Amino acid sequence: MLKRTFLGLALLLVLTQGCIDDHRNSPTPVAEDPATFTETASADLGGTASSEISAYDPVSKRLFVVNNETTSKVEVLNLSAYPTVTKEQAIDVSSLSGGANSVAVSGGKLAIALEAVNKQQNGNVLVVNTSTLSVIKQVPVGALPDMVTFSPDGAYIVTANEGEPSADYKTDPVGSVSIINVADNYSVKTLTFESFAGSQGQLAAGGFRIYGPNATFAQDIEPEYVAVSPDSKKAWVTLQENNGMAEVDLVAGTILRIVPFGTKDYSVVANAIDPSDRDSKIELRTAPVKSFFLPDAITYFSTNGANYVITADEGDAREYTAFDEQVRVGSLTLDATVFPTGAALKQNTNLGRLRVTSTAGNTGGVYTSLFGFGGRGFSIYNASTGQRIYEAGKTLEEKVIAANLYDDDRSDDKGVEPEGVTVGLINNRPVAFVGMERADAIAVYDVSNPDAPQFLQLFKTGDAPEGVLFVPAANSPNGRSMLVVSSEGDGMVKIYQPNRR
């Protein structure tokens, strides 16, 4: 009888523990309203560049933030007494690198992407124990690892190695993607893009760009950001300056394909922009310009049994001492047949101030087409086909204008300049957060229907939000979902949470 009682108690404990574990692994234990994010905590880490990318560890309840203001380090913020934020001793990486670019956390491990002192040389990933802050491993990767992430199962660490050229463009390392196998003693495989050189013509026809001075195909590729599939088998990598993305098989360690992104037509009413910072008004209007999407951040999400990636279409141009592709329309010679009103277009109150690229649309210095930078919005792609199924058009900027957060001084450049994006599950529904560097704001969308995202909210952040991190309620220190926004311009880390329903 006693034995059966003990067995019954043991079974009850097992079942209870299972329920607890299931609760902890659920996306949101308590229903929340994703349209009600408000600031609940913050930390001031310094000035410009003191708050960049962040990562949260639910085990130690620490938030790790890249700080490159003076010396390169990773700030350590303790959130265990949230909303109190306690700053602990930082991880100094200044002697190991020329700078920290990104951080990621999984299973009690912190991965830090470090560029070399000479950033055209190969960089490293430093792996640190999140509780003891002791170094576990230092792993060599490609040149200028700009972003690092773990696969959801923690089996792989993946870096996008940008491979930027030197300012004089005399040294241009190849862009690459490094896959670190955590279980195999952190063995690393670095993938490059030489095998796709034969497809350059076909890719270019789809809007892919290879244009660096004297650069080979592999040298010109610049990986920017990585998103890993929920099953940890595939990764999508944005190739920002090239205007495309690559699909990578993490298990096989191969690059499967490159998807070119094409252009956005600003002559279409649905894509209207404000092209001038000198017209004394904010007005979205059409323009005879096509613009390369040139996305920065990318993230993966699943809904209704299908997988998708979403990109923040920032629009980064190449700007170096020896090569700057940016020109203003007002300085160009426009083909009179194609642009019969060219003189009017070149006025500063029209398109004269708009930045476009000098690398496309012209023959002998005479322009028959104008190509700008960025999509001023975000895009959603089917992860299986690579097909774009949604593009924000002018709607993101309309929301910012309506909120009186639009910076007209950036109209000639990239508008609201979407840079960061992440997706989190709230009430078992995927919710996207789009960070806009020039609007200093986050836009929130329900993307349960990826063909028609539902706008939920827009809220102001610190100056120039760089990192956008979602922490699910199950991992949060107070049981509520958190959005952590680290802002590069003013060094602020701000944490936002939704109301419970």
Q: Please give the residue range of the domain that contains residue 160.
A: 93-256
With CA atoms as reference, report the closest residue to 433 among 374, 497, 361: 497
Give backbone dihedrals phi and psi of 111, rounded to 5 degrees, phi first: -105, 130
One DSSP character per residue, 175-211 reads PEEEEEETTTTTEEEEE--GGGGGGHHHHHHTT----
| Two tokens, residue 409 | 């001084």
Whole-angstrom distance, CA of residue 26 vs CA of residue 24: 6
Same domain, 184 and 244: yes
326 and 217 assigned to the same domain = no
Boundary (domain end) residue, out of 198, 227, 256: 256
Would you call 223 exposed, middle or buried from its count of C-beta atoms within 10 A (0-12, 13-18, 19+)?
Answer: buried
Q: Are residues 247 and 364 in the same domain?
A: no
Is residue 287 within 8 Å of 133, Cβ to Cβ? no
In the β-sheet with 32-44, what is the strand arrangement from edge to edge? 32-44, 492-500, 482-487, 465-471
Counting the structural domains of the chain, the total is 2
Is 363 in the same domain as 277? yes
One domain for residues 141 and 278: no
**How many residues appear in the chain?**
501
Q: What is the DSSP letter of 285?
A: B
Distance between CA 226 and CA 449 in Å, rounded?
Answer: 23
Which pTM was predicted? Answer: 0.94
Same domain, 238 and 293: no
Report the candidate in 389, 396, 388 with the shortest Cα–Cα distance to residue 417. 396
The answer to whether position 33 is within a domain reads no
Q: Count of CB atoms within 10 A of residue 383's CB?
A: 20
Residues 268 and 207 in one domain: no
Residue 24 domain flag = no
Residue 135 lies in a domain: yes
- Is 501 within the bounds of a domain? no
Do 382 and 290 sit in the same domain of this protein? Answer: yes
Q: List the pLDDT tens digit at each of the 501 positions of the chain.
A: 333 333 343 333 333 333 333 333 344 357 999 999 999 999 999 999 999 999 999 999 999 999 999 999 999 999 999 999 999 999 999 999 999 999 999 999 999 999 999 999 999 999 999 999 999 999 999 999 999 999 999 999 999 999 999 999 999 999 999 999 999 999 999 999 999 999 999 999 999 999 999 999 999 999 999 999 999 999 999 999 999 999 999 999 999 999 999 999 999 999 999 999 999 999 999 999 999 999 999 999 999 999 999 999 999 999 999 999 999 999 999 999 999 999 999 999 999 999 999 999 999 999 999 999 999 999 999 999 999 999 999 999 999 999 999 999 999 999 999 999 999 999 999 999 999 999 999 999 999 999 999 999 999 999 999 999 999 999 999 999 999 999 999 999 999 999 999
Based on the domain organization, do 265 and 229 belong to the same domain? no
Rg (CA), the chain: 23
Residue type, 137: K
Question: Per the domain annotation, does 71 fall within a domain?
Answer: no
Shared-domain flag, residues 387 and 447 = yes
Q: Are 224 and 136 in the same domain?
A: yes
Q: Which residues of 101-140 are buried (b: 16+ CB within 10 A; e: fewer)?
A: bbbbbbebbbbbbbbbeebbebbbbbbbebeebeebbebe
> What's the N-to-C CA distance of the chain in angstroms?
47
Whether residue 76 lies inside any domain: the answer is no
Token pair belonging to 129: 């124990």
Last residue of a domain, one of 256, 271, 289: 256
In a domain, 423, yes or no: yes
Domain membership flag for residue 58: no
Are 342 and 216 part of one and the same domain? no
Residue 451, number of CB atoms within 10 A of its CB: 8
The CATH number of the domain where 162 resides is what? 2.130.10.10
Of 239, 256, 273, the residue that ends a domain is 256
